[in-house]
A and B are shown apart, each in its own frame.
Chain A
Amino acid sequence: MTIHRRQFLKAGAAIAGAMPFARVLPALAASDTLVAVTGQTINSLDLHRTGTNRASYQVAINCYDRLITFGTKTLPDGSLSFDYSKLEPELAESWSVSDDGLTITFKLKPNAIFWDGSKVTAEDVKWSFDRAVSVGGFPSTQMKAGGLVRPDQFTAVDDETFVIALDRPSKLSLPDLAVPVPFIINSKVAKAQASAEDPWATEYLHTTPAGSGAYKVARWDPGQQLVYERFDGWTSGPLPKVRRIILREVPSPATRRALIERGDVHVSFDIPDKDAAELSEKVKVHSTPIANTIHVVGLNYDFEPFQDANVRKAVAYAIPYKEIFETAAYGRGAPLWGETEEIAGTEWPRKSPYVHDMEKAKELLAASAYPDGFEVPLSISTDLASWMEPTALLIQESLGKLGIKTEIEKIPGANWRTAVLVEKRLPLHLENFGGWLDTPDYYFFWAYLEGNLFNSSNYRNEEIEALTAETLHMAQDDPEYAPKIRRMFEIAMEDIPRIPLYQPALNVAINGADGYEFWFHRQLDIRTLTGAES
């Protein structure tokens, strides 16, 4: 994994031609090396390991291939984004779904090779899928979403034919193969490192990826940097233009901002909304609303006043949406309030029918069982204070005018998930959920079904339960699909256990590079990056 120091220097010198390095590299960087900075720490090179954090998912994307991937579309502002509606081949050359929808057969590309030169076989695919459904934790949960639960569902028929047997047909199965989780590992390398207590070679793959992806890891200094080097034998897509990409971890946003403004780095990934708003005048900033993700105010049904529909609606009308969007998000992302038209499409996230209207809020509260208001803590996480704190303050002020007294309760980041999602014990709180599989029913599955993780409101509605179960696996072009989804929207907005605020944005500043593509997984896909257009 670590290249020897002398080799590295030699490789550098070969391109640079002459010393001193310090002056040569910036000039050379334009075409050959890109430098990106991020505030997050990459803590593992193996997404399947317990404890691997979100920032580390990018290794699964850049260094490993999946069978298939999503297509690319151009957004109105000219930037690139993944396209959920288009599935494209990555390692698989083609695939077919049986008429009953229960069997998916993949044909692998015959010329696909791993970094060590060995052929990518269906056996490798099977081993990797077995691993993803067996290791438990997050990867197995994500595989389950696509109906992939047990190793006996996967068969390697021959070197280039891989078959998945499903228990029931689902529209989520194929897209679920394009998310970061089901990546294909070089099973020969991994098995050689596996042991009785570590049958899936998690120890080895944690620090040493073994894949067929566009980039190899040339160097990983945990907590500092990750150096990607292009794999010239990559066959799963057009060969990336940039030979080497250095990703540095810089925790302080102020420092990251100075670096990108000075032009010493080319990409600053996931910057705060405030910096994005201010930097956009100086460098190129992509702010893409994150697919299937909504910042919401959660009203917990376990708290008596919120069982009253009039109270919930009063709160929804008392929220100063516009001010929140401008103060907490600096106008980045997409507003999610004030829908006036009838529900027509099945797009999600969609605007709620609520607006900031204190008169209406007062009327509704007067009609409720709590005309004089009540007291309730408003809980936020210290880790997410950048958007939660201003939002909470604005809500507190506004609810105060209704007589609903709130005290802002800041919960330490380490305790937040337990309190809000596992114990679901916060009466009034701010929350956020984004689903990787970009359909409304998938969002509803996680956030509106009783007992499911992101239903922090303890909401239960029989019709929603039934509709979600019916639509979750239904094809989107099924004639029954759209009406059912619209009915779900209707109920969710009427019952309003989660009040949508806005769709947050992923902000990426680019200076001297191009080809950035937004992905639902919110990680940097380096494969499309190029040097600056010149």
Chain B
Amino acid sequence: MARRSAAIAGRIAQAIPVVIGVVVISFLLTRALPGDPAVQFAGAAATPESIEEVRRSLGLDKPLPEQFVIYVGQLLEGDLGRSVSTGRPVATELAARLPASLELTLSALLLSCLIAVPLGVLAATRPGSLVDQFCRVLVTAGVSLPTFFTGIVLIYVFYYLLGIAPSPLGRLDFIYVDPPHVTGFFLIDAAFDADLETWLGALKQLILPAITLALFTLAPIARMTRAAMLAALSADYIRTARAAGLAPATVLYAYAFRNALLPVVTTLGMVFSFVLGANVLVEKVFAWPGIGSFAVEALVVSDYAAVQGFVLAMALLFVFLNLLIDLSYSVIDPRFGTSSK
């Protein structure tokens, strides 16, 4: 057990240089961006004097090292700075928008796992069968359809033509009011509030974008499940288990599936990080007030603090996620943290 805690502590310690690197790189990269924020924010009819005025008021007239010191000083106080384009502290913006993205991404991942994992297992146990072919078709379709395209098609069919989906107007239709803020996840907050009406409203808004993203994430998860299951099923220990006369279900789930889970969880982590960054297009199509659209807006107007805050938040999220995945290994794989691994 001590070994395991040491391994976990080691993992956490590894994250620190990563975070420092992210701080430095995000600072330098945002400065390397094309575009002059002072020009951008001085407005339509700015004169050179007013541009200079804006530059001074944003603190951009100071030399880079000084700006960096100020930035790090603020960071240490937990201050991510203020977004010029929205006029609010970056931390507030992120706190308001991250839950929206997370709720969408997690729902989509849950949905795609519910479909992809059983499908992958079925396809692996019956290679070449109809299920296997179906799995292949779905996977191909999933990766080859860009998310914004799937999104628009779904809106066209289910909202525009059939009229069964709600208006694609973000997290809640305008007739509802946000549930009281607890976690920022509308489904959870509405449930806390015991407000069925809002909960259903939030769920309805979530269905189409979640399906759009799920279609996209299905592919890697199903592929990985199938491959890992195939590898596991052909392993020696499965042959031994079968020869020992264990029930097929036990062999499949307790032996093969558990071993196949490791690569699947790894894939899941990668898919999650990838999708959280990539769902900006889905957010645009469904008017989802997530973190992706915030970051893109910030980039377009060279809003330094917002971009840095976004990169930093994402980095921390990924570090945390990787940690979580590593810890989940320790649950799945009893050898975790031992040298025999």
Contact = CB atoms under 8 A, between A and B. Distances in A.
Interface of A: 5, 8-9, 12, 19-22, 25, 35, 37, 41, 43-44, 49-54, 136-138, 140-142, 145, 206-207, 221-225, 246, 248-252, 254-255, 258-259, 261-262, 264-265, 383, 411-415, 417-418, 421-422, 446, 453
Contact of B50 (A137, A224, A264): A137
Interface centre among A19, A262, A412, A414 (most CB of B within 10 A): A414
B36 interface: yes
Contacts of B197: 19-21
B46 A138 contact: yes
Contact of A446 (B45, B173, B289): B45
Nearest to A265: B167
19 contacts: A12-B175, A19-B197, A21-B176, A22-B201, A44-B87, A51-B87, A136-B57, A141-B43, A141-B45, A141-B50, A223-B289, A223-B293, A250-B169, A252-B152, A255-B285, A255-B286, A258-B160, A414-B301, A453-B45
Nearest to A141: B45
Given A138-B44, A422-B39, 7 more contacts: A21-B175, A137-B50, A223-B293, A248-B169, A248-B174, A262-B159, A453-B45
Contacts of A43: 85-87
Contact of A422 (B51, B96, B180): B51
B146 interface: no
A418 B86 contact: no
A251 B293 contact: yes
B299 interface: yes
A37 B173 CA distance: 13
A414 B300 contact: yes
Contacts of B178: 5, 221
A138 B51 CA distance: 9
B36 A422 contact: yes
B47 interface: yes
B159 A51 contact: no
A504 to B, nearest CB: 15
Nearest to A28: B175
Contacts of A222: 86, 88, 93, 96
B176 A258 contact: no
A418 B46 contact: no
B42 A138 contact: yes
Interface centre among A41, A136, A421, A446 (most CB of B within 10 A): A136
Interface string B275-311: 0000000001111010001100101111000000000
Contact of A51 (B85, B152, B284): B85
B43 A137 contact: yes
Given A22-B201, A221-B289, A224-B289, A255 B33 contact: no
Grouping DSSP codes into helix (H, G, I), strand (E, B) and loop, the B interface class, with mixed when no group exceeds half, is loop
A418 B155 contact: no
A136 B86 contact: no
B39 A417 contact: yes
Nearest to A9: B177
Contacts of A246: 174
Contact of A412 (B35, B160, B169): B35
B175 A137 contact: no
B35 A414 contact: yes
B87 A259 contact: no
Nearest to A5: B177
A414 B33 contact: yes
Interface centre among A223, A251, A415, A417 (most CB of B within 10 A): A223
Contacts of A141: 43, 45-47, 50
Interface centre among A20, A43, A265 (most CB of B within 10 A): A43
B34 A412 contact: yes
A245 B40 CA distance: 30
B287 A248 contact: yes
A259 B167 contact: yes
A22 B299 contact: no
A21 B198 CA distance: 10
Given A223-B97, A259-B169, A422-B36, A25 B175 contact: yes
A35 B177 contact: no
Contact of A41 (B33, B34, B174, B297): B297
Contacts of A412: 34-35
Contacts of A25: 175
8 pairs of A and B residues whose beta carbons are closest in the complex: A414-B35, A138-B43, A415-B34, A51-B84, A250-B287, A51-B41, A136-B53, A251-B284
A103 B84 CA distance: 38
Interface in B125-163: 148, 152, 155-156, 159-160, 163
A138 B300 contact: no
A52 B163 CA distance: 37
Contact of B45 (A49, A142, A264, A413): A142
Nearest to B299: A414
B23 to A, nearest CB: 22
A262 B160 contact: yes
A252 B287 contact: yes
Given A248-B287, A417-B39, A446-B45, A138 B297 contact: no
A136 B177 contact: no
Contacts of A136: 50, 53-54, 57
